[in-house]
Structure 1
């Protein structure tokens, strides 16, 4: 039985719907699967949209109870995300330093691959959606190599979908790395939102079939 949707998850999905970042239809994924829905957070590309998006991330992180002292945004999508989430946290009196990385090391100026504040002792990685989990594992290695601990991974949407084994990428991270994972919204939330928004029965049935075929326990 799925958990009751949170206020921040439904606000996030309404935002995604407004910006056409959440679409229903047939979409070919990198995995080769044909998904009945698609999420493209890059479509939320305005100041007002990003402000609402960051508020959802901040609410999910705050309610998770994870203890942390800094944020990290993996290049490239994680860079604007980590900055705006830090701003949203500051709006509620929590001033958190943030860091991001370059894809290639800089050999002049300040040099190196890390930009922003020095990494804290307990770092939360802020990203959009984890598919194979390769990029986030690279971020985990980078943070650990710098002598810091990864306190958690915060993403927008958990597709609750099996990866290369019976686990989702988020479940694999939690089990293999011992890292808590937090999602602003999940596939169960998407289904609940679609039902309340009046999505037609054919498309709703397609999403539920997809969940039955590829979803995790």
Structure 2
């Protein structure tokens, strides 16, 4: 596990964004952990997570022209990431969408810079892929090209119901459907590696078996 990935998992745990216990996911699964990017809700934490997003994008070597943040969580994440990129010498424009079209002023559903060139979609996680699909449609409709999705945590879970699980994760399905990479700051393997480390403390290592079992049941290779 890279230093950046280790640092991100530790940061998410300390910020209370990554929690362990007994949770129900959007798919209705009982999960031993839960990641809620909405809890990056103060200036310091938002600034720090933006640093992780920006560095992950830079380290990928991906060529891109701008960022797009899908409503609602993606709006703040894309804006903060644009600020962090600029501070690292990569000033790029960003845009986001509103759920309902504005019927006065500039009108429309897109706010910010004009969608053009190679666009990176910035979001927190990918569950069903609905947000990505809607973003891809908007970007293409504007004549621009979606070139990647950038997320915080890849849960590496196969989609579908328990008796009909897909061979692919939601992230892999999105990548295959749109022919573009999905970049993540960290993933489920990084999470498990972190809590398996004795240095994480007994409070976290107690969840190692539960997380490993969850990965065994729902995870992709």
Range class of TM-score, shorter chain:
over 0.9
Number of positions where the alignment pairs a residue of Structure 1 with one of Structure 2: 213
Question: For 2:186 and 2:217, how far apart are their aligned partners in 1?
Answer: 20
Cα displacement (A) at 1:13: 1.4
Question: For 2:13 and 2:175, how far apart are their aligned partners in 1?
Answer: 29
Question: For 1:94 and 1:106, how far apart are their aligned partners in 2?
Answer: 31
| Counterpart mapping for 1:125-204 below 5 A | 125-164=121-160, 165-196=166-197, 197-199=200-202, 201-204=205-208
- The corresponding residue for 1:62 is 58
What runs of 5+ residues in structure 2 fail to find an aligned partner?
161-165
1:83 corresponds to 2:79: yes
Cα displacement (A) at 1:8: 2.0
TM-score w.r.t. length of structure 1:
0.95
Cα deviation code 1:164-208 (max 9, x no counterpart)? 322111101111210111000100111111122134554210100
Question: For 2:106 and 2:92, how far apart are their aligned partners in 1?
Answer: 22
Cα deviation code 1:65-120 (max 9, x no counterpart)? 21110000001101111111001101111110000000000010110000001112
- The corresponding residue for 1:209 is 213
State the SS of the aligned residue for 1:153.
strand
Change (3 A) 1:202 1:14: closer
Question: For 1:27 and 1:185, how far apart are their aligned partners in 2?
Answer: 20
From 24, 38, 48, the counterpart of 1:28: 24
TM-score w.r.t. length of structure 2:
0.93
Question: For 1:56 and 1:84, how far apart are their aligned partners in 2?
Answer: 11
Question: For 2:205 and 2:88, how far apart are their aligned partners in 1?
Answer: 41
Question: For 2:2 and 2:49, how far apart are their aligned partners in 1?
Answer: 15
Question: For 2:90 and 2:138, how far apart are their aligned partners in 1?
Answer: 25
Question: For 1:116 and 1:20, how far apart are their aligned partners in 2?
Answer: 31
Question: For 1:141 and 1:163, how far apart are their aligned partners in 2?
Answer: 22
- Aligned alpha-carbon RMSD (Å): 1.1
